[in-house]
Amino acid sequence: MTRIIQNGEAVQRREPKLTTVIPVRIKRHGGRKVVIPAPESPEAESPEHHQPILNALSRAFHWQRLIDEGRMTSGVEIARQEGLNQSSVNELLRLTLLSPEIIRALLAGQQPKTLTLAWLKNRELPSDWDAQREVFAGLDGKGGL
C-alpha cells in the first residue's frame, strides 16, 4: 500500500492488509432488510421483536382504555376519530383478548416466526386462553411460545 505523507513523499508500507469478517445473513422481512446473526453468535439467541405487532398491541390497549374510561363508546367512534375503517379498529381491539402469557411472549420478542399482524387480524382466536396457547403452539410446529 502506498501512502502519501504531508510533505508529498510517497511511503511504501509492507504491512499485511487486515480483513474483518462478520458472519451474518441479510434477509428481506416484510419489505425491509434484516440482519440475521450467525447461529453460533450470542446475538442469534436474542429476541426478534415484530414491530407491526407491537404497534398494533399498543394501539389496541390504548383504544380499549379509552372505551373503559368512557371517553369513547365503541370501535366505530374510535374509527371515526382516527380516520380508519371500523373493521380495522375492531380487528385490533380483539388483540386485547389475547392471554397474558401470549402478550408477554409477543412483548419479549418470542413469538412464532410465522406469526404476522395480518394473521392475527384475520383469525378469530378462541376466547379460552388454553385454546389460544394451542393455536399459537401449532404455528411453528415447535410446541409453544
Query: 35: pLDDT confidence band, cut at 50, 70 and 90?
Result: confident
What does the pLDDT read at residue 46? 61
Q: At what angle do helices 129-140 and 100-107 cross, to 10 degrees?
A: 40
pLDDT at 126 over 50: yes
Question: Can you give the pLDDT at residue 70?
Answer: 94
Per-residue pLDDT, 44? 47
Work out the pLDDT band at 61, boundaries 50, 70, 90. Answer: very high
Q: Is the separation of the CB atoms in 112 and 78 below 8 Å? A: no
Residue ranges and CATH numbers for the domains of the chain are 50-145 (1.10.10)
The average pLDDT across 25-41 equals 73
Q: What is the pTM of this model?
A: 0.65
List CB contacts of 9: < 8 A, sequence separation 6 or more.
Answer: none
- pLDDT (tens digit, 9 = 90+) per residue, 72-95? 999 999 999 999 999 999 999 999
CA 56, CA 65: separation in Å to the nearest integer? 14
Give the mean model confidence (pLDDT) for residues 56-72. Answer: 94
pLDDT at 71 (0 to 100): 94
pLDDT in tens, 92-125: 999 999 999 999 999 988 888 888 999 999 888 9
Cα–Cα distance for residue pair 57/41, rounded to 1 Å: 30
Give the mean pLDDT of 128-143. 82
How many Å apart are CA 131 and CA 98, to the nearest integer? 11
Please give the single-letter amino acid code of residue 118. A
Q: DSSP for 5-43?
A: -TTS-EEE--PPPP-----EEEEEETTEEEEEE-TTSGG
- The span from the CA of 59 to the CA of 94, in Å, is 11
